[in-house]
Amino acid sequence: MTAFVSTFLSFVLLYKYWAIALIVASSALILPLPTNIVIVAAGAFASQGYLNLTGVIADAIIANIATDCIVFYFCRHYAERIFDRWIKKWDGKFMAIERRLRTYAFGTVFLTRIAGPFAPYVNFVAGIIGVRAAVFIVADILGNALAFLFFASAGYFLGNYWQDFTNDIWIITAAVVVAFIAYLAWKIVRKRKD
Amino acid sequence: MKEKKEVSKPFVIVLLITIVFLAVFCVREYRRISRLDLINAYKERFAQEVGEHRGPLGAKDAVLVASWMTFGYVNMIFKLPPEYLQNDLAISDGGYPNVSIGHYAKTHALDQKLFVVAAQKAVAAYFATTTAQ
C-alpha cells in the first residue's frame, strides 16, 4: 500500500461518509485521487461492520453526481464568459472528444464515468458545447451507479483480505482507461482515413 | 434525417433459430448440471469462501494490522476491549482511539515499522491470552 493511498484510507476510517464524499467529489472535480481503491476499501469496511454498504454506495453516487452536475451547470452558463480567452486558444485541440460528445453524448458521458480520469474533462466540455441536461444527468447517474456498485460490492465480497487485491484494482482501472483511449484513437484514425 | 435500415428476413429467421437453439441448449445443460448437484456444490463453496473473508479475525490475521489503520478500527475488527491496545502499547495520546497507528508513531517520534509490528504482536498476544484462559 503506497503512502499516498494510506493517507486516504486513514481519512476514511476517521471521518467515514464525509471523507468518502469529499474524496469522490474532489476526484470528480479535477484531482486524480485513488477513488476506486477507496471505494473498494469502504466496501470491505462495510463487510466488517465499520460502515454500511448501502450508505457507502449512496454517499459516493450522490457526491459524484452532485459535483458532476455543478461543473456541467457552471460550464454551461458561465465558462464561456469566464474562460473565453482560454477556450478560443484551445479551440480545435479537443476536437476528438468534442465531436464524440456532439454525436454520442449519452455513450461518452456514460463510459467516462467508468473510465474515471476523463470524467472531469468531459463534464467541462459537455457544459461548454451544450449537451442536453437530461441526457447528461441520466448518463451520469447510470454510469456512476454502475461504477460505484461494482467497486463497493467487490470490496464487500473480498472482505478482510481486500488488500491482497489492490494490484488487481489498479490493473482493472488501467485496463478500462487504456481501452477507452484505444477506442478514441481508433475512431480518430478511422475518421482521418475516411 | 436518418434513413431507416431495412433488416433482411433471412437474417431475422437465422437469428430466431439461433436464439431458440441456444435457449434449448441452456435449459438442457442447466437440468444436467442440476442432476449432478454441481450448482449446490458451487453455491456452498462460494458461501464458504465469502464467509471466510467476512468472518471474525483471529490471531493469524494480526499481520493485517497496518500503519493507516486507526486504533479504533483495529479494536473493532479484532473485537478487542477498547483500552487493550492503549494499555499494551502505553499510548498516552488524548486522541486515542481516533488516530491512525502511523500518525501516532510519527507524532511521538517512534519508528513506524517497529510500532506497527508491536501493534501486530499486541493483537496476536490478546488472542493467545484469551485462548489460554
pLDDT for B75-110, tens place per residue? 999 999 989 999 999 888 788 889 999 999 999 899
Q: Are the C-beta atoms of A48 and B79 separated by less than 8 Å? A: no
- Residues B20 and B63 both lie in one domain: no
pLDDT band, residue A183 (cuts 50/70/90)? confident
Percent of chain A with pLDDT over 90: 33
At A53 the pLDDT is 93
Q: Are the C-beta atoms of A159 and A45 separated by less than 8 Å? A: no
- Residues B66 and B120 both lie in one domain: yes
At A9 the pLDDT is 92
- Residues B76 and B115 both lie in one domain: yes
Q: Does residue B59 belong to the interface with chain A, where contact is any CB pair within 8 Å?
A: no
Beta bridge partners of B70: B100
Contact A14 B70 (CB under 8 A): yes
Task: Please write the tens of the pLDDT for every residue from B8-40.
Answer: 777 788 888 888 988 998 888 888 877 777 777
The structural domains of chain A, with segments of one domain joined by +, span 3-193
Residue B18 lies in a domain: yes
Residues of chain B contacting A1 with CB distance shorter than 8 Å: 66, 68
- Residues B88 and B110 both lie in one domain: yes
**d(C-alpha A38, C-alpha A24), whole Å:** 9
Residue B4 lies in a domain: no
Residue B109 lies in a domain: yes
- Of the candidates A93, A133, A89, the one whose C-alpha atom is nearest the C-alpha of residue A109 is A133
Contact B100 A163 (CB under 8 A): no
Residues of chain B contacting A7 with CB distance shorter than 8 Å: 68
- Residues B63 and B85 both lie in one domain: yes
Residues of chain B contacting A49 with CB distance shorter than 8 Å: 76
How would you write chain B as a 3-class SS string?
CCCCCCCCHHHHHHHHHHHHHHHHHHHHHHHHHHHCCHHHHHHHHHHHHHHHHHCCCCHHHHHHCCCCCEHHHHHHHCCCCCCHHHHHCCCCCCCCCCCEHHHHHHHCCCCHHHHHHHHHHHHHHHHHHHHHC
At B1 the pLDDT is 45
Q: Are the C-beta atoms of A96 and A118 separated by less than 8 Å? A: no
Task: Please write the tens of the pLDDT for every residue from B51-79.
Answer: 666 767 888 889 989 999 999 999 999 99
Q: Residue B66 is nearest to which of A1, A47, A160, comparing CB atoms?
A: A1
pLDDT band, residue A25 (cuts 50/70/90)? very high
Q: Residue B53 is nearest to which of A6, A10, A161, comparing CB atoms?
A: A161
At B4 the pLDDT is 53
Q: Are the C-beta atoms of B122 and B88 separated by less than 8 Å? A: yes
pLDDT higher than 70, residue A90: no
Residue B47 lies in a domain: yes
- Of the candidates B66, B88, B87, B86, the one whose C-alpha atom is nearest the C-alpha of residue B77 is B66
* Nearest-Cα residue of chain B relative to residue A9: B68
- Residues B116 and B64 both lie in one domain: yes
Residues of chain A contacting B61 with CB distance shorter than 8 Å: 160
- Of the candidates A98, A106, A99, A111, the one whose C-alpha atom is nearest the C-alpha of residue A177 is A111
B 94-113: CB under 8 A from A = 98, 100, 102-103
ipTM of the complex: 0.75
pLDDT higher than 60, residue A17: yes
- Residues B64 and B41 both lie in one domain: no
At B2 the pLDDT is 47
Q: Residue B68 is nearest to which of A10, A157, A161, comparing CB atoms?
A: A10
- Residues B108 and B84 both lie in one domain: yes
Residue B2 lies in a domain: no
Highest mean pLDDT among A151-165, A174-188, B79-93: B79-93
pLDDT higher than 80, residue A84: no
**d(C-alpha B9, C-alpha A7), whole Å:** 61
**d(C-alpha A150, C-alpha A139), whole Å:** 17
Residue A160 identity: N
At A96 the pLDDT is 61
Of chain B, the end-to-end C-alpha distance in Å amounts to 82
- Residues B31 and B68 both lie in one domain: no
Residues of chain B contacting A14 with CB distance shorter than 8 Å: 70, 98, 100
Cell reading at A98: 468534442
The residue range of the domain holding B73 is: 59-132
Number of domains in chain B: 2
The maximal CA–CA distance of chain B, rounded, in angstroms, is: 82
